[in-house]
Each structure stands twice: as structure tokens, then as C-alpha cells.
Amino acid sequence: MSQFDLTDDQLQIQEMAAKFTADAITPFAAEWDEKHIFPKDTIREAAELGFGSIYVSEESGGIGLGRLEAALIFEAMAYGCPSTSAFISIHNMVAWMIDRFGPAELKQKYLPAMITMESMGSYCLTEPSSGSDAAALKTKAVLDGDHYVVSGSKAFISGAGANDVMVAMVRTGEDGPKGISALVIEKDMPGVSFGAQEKKLGWHSQPTSQVNFDEVRVPLANRVGAEGEGFRIAMMGLDGGRLNIGACSLGGAQRCLDEAIRYTKERKQFGQPIADFQATQFTLADMETELQAARYLLYVAAAKVTANAPDKTKFAAMAKRLATDTGSSVVDRALQLHGGYGYLMDYPIERFWRDLRVHSILEGTNQIMRVIVSRDLLRQ
């Protein structure tokens, strides 16, 4: 076996995720998109396979897998619905933060219900005026006895309104990254409210809205990590989140490539299948080549994040940038190969085109990914 091959265990994980997707996600994803249905029951079925706690430690009740195994799972589920797979990815990031950095009492309080996804988690970093400049966030948490009093707003929060817990990055000290801490905030705490649901281009199978904190009293015991460690925790979480969203792009793009191959074999013009035309063959060949290149870079980056390699952040940024840009490009060409039919909702391509577009924005824009990589290069 080559060092670049998946192990037998990884292949079994991939197969299990693919079968779950084929049975429980793919047949229903178009309806979820069209009717804006958040498929909670399906998501909890995924949790029964361990997909709600992929890299939560076994000691805490998770399945304790590495980031490559997680990427295989999210890629497989995105083959059916990138939007649903991405939400499960975000939940996993929140559960991992609590498991990795939270005290024992906090883990015992929140993780059991998060592992089954009876309790769903959201990640709250972005603010209305603080996107790429995340260290400039303004949501404030003032210590008052054994509670923090939290005031501020978070924007574009996946799962908002349907979630149960949030890991929120808040300012507990000085300006800049060193003044940020992480708190677990419950949906039902007094002072928590949600804005109207955002009307989005894609990602229709998960709710998204602003979250508002109006003097919310959060127990000191709900802090994740030490005071002032929030930004570091957030960035470590994003290394994994970037891999996951890249994997979702790979899965969605693979689905569209497969659909394009099937369609071009069946669709006839000028008396022959359009797959017989060299222009079509060249397009399919480029789609496959670029997708495989992005996939293997992402797998290498996942292995580096699992191993805590010194260059893990650079590789996660490179992989996220390449996988999400490539994913969108592959889907766009698949739509073109379908001609006018690709523009119709009768075919799945337009849904993937819409869903994958946001991947080059969230978990750090692809322009910020370039900043991360170039800074690392220029430090050398």
C-alpha cells in the first residue's frame, strides 16, 4: 500500500458516510433547499453514527477520529447536500472546542447532548462590523462576581434560532487578539435574541441570522480556556473548519462532475452524444485533474493538523483556498455542460452552484487565506 492511499479503516469510514448520504440525504436535499427545511431528524441520525462528535475525544464520549477522517465524512455528506454537511461541520468545531479547552464540568454539562446532536452548537465569531478583521470584535463581556455580563451582536451565524448552545468570542480585556475570551452561551439565557432569518443565495437547509446579546449573564464556569485565550482557540478551530469546508466543496464538486459525465453520455447533439466531442472530453479531464489535486492537498493538510505540524495553519489555508475555488469552478463547468438544463431546478447542478459559492467567503475569505500563506513565506 502506498503512503498516499487511505487505510482500510478510513475507507470503511468513507463508505459508511457515503451510504448514509445515499440513503438519508441525497433523495431529500432538493426539497430541503426549495422549502428551506432544516433537517434536524436527519442530522440526529448522522449523530447516531458518531458524526456529531467526530474529533471529540473518546474519553468525552466522541469517536476521537483525526482531521482526515473528518474530511472524508464531510466530503461524502456534501455529495448529497453541502449545506447540511457544512452545518454538521460547524457543530463539530464547537463540540471540539469545548472538549479540547473546556474544564471537566463544562464538558459534562454540554457534551453528552451535543454528541447526540439533541443539542446543536453554533460558532459565534463574525460581527456586523468585524469580518476578516476578527480580532477587532466588539461584543463585550464584563466580569460581575461569578458571571460575565455579555452585550453585543454576532452576524451570519449558522444554525441561529435552531441551535441550543453557542461558543462566542467576546472581549474581556484590551483591544486586539489578547483581549478576547471564549464563552459557552445558551440559546435560552435571558437577553439572547435572534434577528430575522437571512435570505441567502444558497445554504437553504440551515438557518442563518444575527445573534444579539443584551446584558446576558453567563457563568464564569462557562468560559472555554483561560481569559484572553479566545482568539487563539478561535484560530485553532478555524484550521479544522477550513479543512471541513474545503471537504464540503470537494464532495459537492464530485457530485456535479459525476452528473456531468452521466449527462454528456446521454445528451445528443449533431447526431452523437456530446461526450464524444473533444471539447467536452477536455473539459471533463480538466475538472477531474483539478479536483484530484485539490483533494490530495486537503488530505495532506488534514494530516498536518492532526499531527499538530508547525506548518499546519499554512497548509490548512492553502487547502481551503484551492478546494473551495476549485469546487466552484468544477460546478460552474458542470452547469455549462448541462446547457440550459443546468440552470433549471429540475437538475441538482444549480443547487450545488449556489451552495458552494459561499465557501470561498466563510471560515476566512480566500483573500485572507492568501495573506496567511504569504506571511508564512515571507517570515522564512
Return d(Cα 208, Cα 279) in angstroms, integer.
40
Closest CA to 169 of 154, 186, 159, 157: 154
Half-sphere exposure of 223 (CA within 13 A, CB side): 22
Q: Does 363 qualify as catalytic in the annotation?
A: yes
Are the C-beta atoms of 209 and 197 separated by less than 8 Å? yes
Return d(Cα 76, Cα 251) in angstroms, integer.
6
Find the catalytic residue in 75, 127, 290, 363: 363
Closest CA to 75 of 293, 321, 253, 328: 253
Start-end of H helices in the chain: 8-20, 29-35, 40-48, 67-78, 82-101, 104-115, 230-266, 278-306, 312-337, 349-357, 366-379
Return d(Cα 146, Cα 273) in angstroms, integer.
71
Phi-psi region of 145 (alpha: psi -120 to 50; beta: other; left: phi over 0): left
Q: What is the dihedral of CA 157, 160, 166, 168, to 10 degrees?
A: 30
Which residues are known to be catalytic? 363
